[in-house]
């Protein structure tokens, strides 16, 4: 069923699902580190870099599907060349109005800016962070309500760099550190940062779990973390330990995991000060209890 002969490009997983199972399945697979999804009527297409696919990963995905939905419904896993994937993805992108104030536009697409609108130009290539996913929109809507001007900011899992770019365009005045554990995401973030003329954003290819000591070599006022439940679960205790006064803006969590998240936040001595929702996703701003 799986062609494992080519290590590069992307793997496309095709999963047969009832419509109501699609969002829960995205949540499950996000926890496995799969970041790209295309929803169809009775099918979910998922994409992950070829070098991250293995027999073990296939077994893990099958087990998750079986546990959640009763039986394995992974129809196929096939390789896709990078170039085809990019072209298809980019051709379909349209401007995304995040709010009255913020819009994400793909580079070189015709777009008429409204007065006062903050326009973020993104050329996503293979990275996450186009505004097409609720988790990104939730982060941006939260950020819009915050006073970011004087905050020192760390963006963990930067993807296209969209949140770091937005922070700068929303008036942040400090150097921002943006990290991602995928080299193509880091490269893409740098390109988007240049295209948006947003200075002083340092992008590093670092892993939030393995390199946390290096990433947190200074205190941050605000940590942006749109990742997934598993990574949040593993890094939040270390963040509290190393940079106890930071506020953390979290996304990438499904509403089904809200009680788990609340418990984790409480255990670590944080409190949620603003939680917002879209579809089956949530974003929450957590602050240390003083």
**Which positions make up the binding site for S-adenosyl-L-methionine?**
136, 157, 180, 226
Look at the alpha carbons of 143, 148, 154, 155 in this order and tell me if their dihedral is positive or negative. Answer: positive
CA atoms 188, 93, 172, 206: torsion sign = negative
Q: Which residues contact 87 (CB under 8 A, 6 or more apart)?
A: none
The residue from 16, 82, 97, 207 that contacts ligand SAM (CB under 6 A) is 207
| Helix ranges (DSSP H) in the chain | 22-31, 55-69, 82-91, 134-144, 162-169, 183-195, 212-215, 229-242, 258-267
Task: Pick the stretch among 12-20, 86-94, 157-165, 238-246 that binds ligand SAM (CB under 6 A).
Answer: 157-165
- Selection from 204, 206, 35 nearest residue 128 by Cα: 35
Q: Which is nearer to ligand SAM, 58 or 187 (CB)?
A: 187
Please measure the distance between the N-terminal and C-terminal CA atoms of the chain and give it in whole angstroms: 54
The one segment of 37-45, 58-66, 201-209, 281-289 that binds ligand SAM by CB under 6 A: 201-209
Residue that the structure tokens 């947003």 belong to: 198
CB 268 within 8 A of CB 236: yes
Binding status of residue 163 toward ligand SAM by CB under 6 A: yes
* Shortest Cβ 21–ligand SAM spacing (Å): 21
Under the criterion CB under 6 A, does residue 129 sit at the interface with ligand SAM?
yes
**By CB under 6 A, is residue 10 in contact with ligand SAM?**
no
Which 213-232 residues touch ligand SAM, going by CB under 6 A? 226-227, 231
Q: CA-CA distance, 135 to 98, in Å (whole number)?
A: 11
Give the β-pairing of 96-97 and 36-40. Answer: unpaired
Q: Which residue is nearest to ligand SAM (CB)?
A: 157
By beta-carbon proximity to ligand SAM, the closer residue of 73 and 248 is: 248
For residue 118 the two structure tokens come to: 């903050």
Q: Does 157 bind ligand SAM (CB under 6 A)?
A: yes
Span from 11-19, 123-131, 167-175, 236-244 in contact with ligand SAM (CB under 6 A): 123-131
Convert residues 168-187 into a mask of x (bound to ligand SAM by CB under 6 A) and - (unbound): -----------xxxx--x--
Give me the least distance between CB of 162 and ligand SAM, in Å please: 5
Count the Cβ atoms, other than its own, within 10 Å of residue 282: 23
* Interaction of residue 254 with ligand SAM, rule CB under 6 A: no
Name which of residues 40 to 99 contact ligand SAM (CB under 6 A). none
Angle, helices 229-242/22-31, rounded to nearest 10 degrees: 50
Which residues of this chain interact with ligand SAM, rule CB under 6 A? Answer: 35, 127-129, 135-136, 139, 157-159, 162-163, 179-182, 185, 207-209, 226-227, 231, 252
């Amino acid at each position: 069923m799986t062609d494992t002969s080519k290590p590069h490009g992307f793997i496309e997983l095709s999963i047969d699902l009832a419509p109501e199972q699609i969002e829960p399945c995205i949540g499950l697979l996000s926890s496995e580190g799969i970041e790209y999804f295309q929803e169809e009527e009775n099918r979910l297409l998922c994409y992950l870099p070829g070098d991250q696919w293995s027999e073990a990963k296939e077994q893990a995905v099958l087990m998750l599907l079986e546990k959640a939905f009763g039986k394995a419904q992974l129809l196929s896993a096939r390789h896709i060349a990078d170039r085809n994937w990019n072209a298809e993805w980019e051709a379909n992108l349209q401007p995304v109005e995040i709010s009255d104030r913020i819009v994400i536009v793909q580079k070189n697409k015709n777009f008429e800016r409204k007065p006062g609108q903050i326009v973020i130009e993104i050329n996503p290539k293979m990275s996450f962070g186009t505004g097409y996913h609720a988790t990104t929109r939730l982060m941006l809507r939260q950020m819009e309500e915050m006073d970011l001007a004087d905050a020192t900011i760390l963006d963990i899992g930067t993807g296209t760099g969209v949140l770091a770019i937005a922070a700068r365009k929303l008036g942040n005045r400090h150097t921002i550190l943006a990290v991602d554990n995928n080299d193509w995401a880091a490269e893409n973030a740098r390109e988007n940062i240049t295209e948006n003329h947003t200075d002083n954003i340092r992008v590093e290819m670092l892993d939030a779990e393995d390199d946390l000591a290096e990433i947190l070599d200074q205190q941050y006022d605000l940590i942006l973390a749109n990742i997934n439940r598993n990574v949040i679960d593993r890094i939040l205790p270390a963040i509290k330990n190393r940079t106890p006064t930071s506020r953390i803006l979290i996304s990438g969590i499904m509403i089904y995991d809200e009680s788990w998240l609340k418990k984790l936040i409480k255990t670590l001595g944080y409190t949620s000060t603003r939680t917002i929702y879209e579809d089956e996703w949530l974003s929450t701003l957590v602050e240390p209890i003083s």
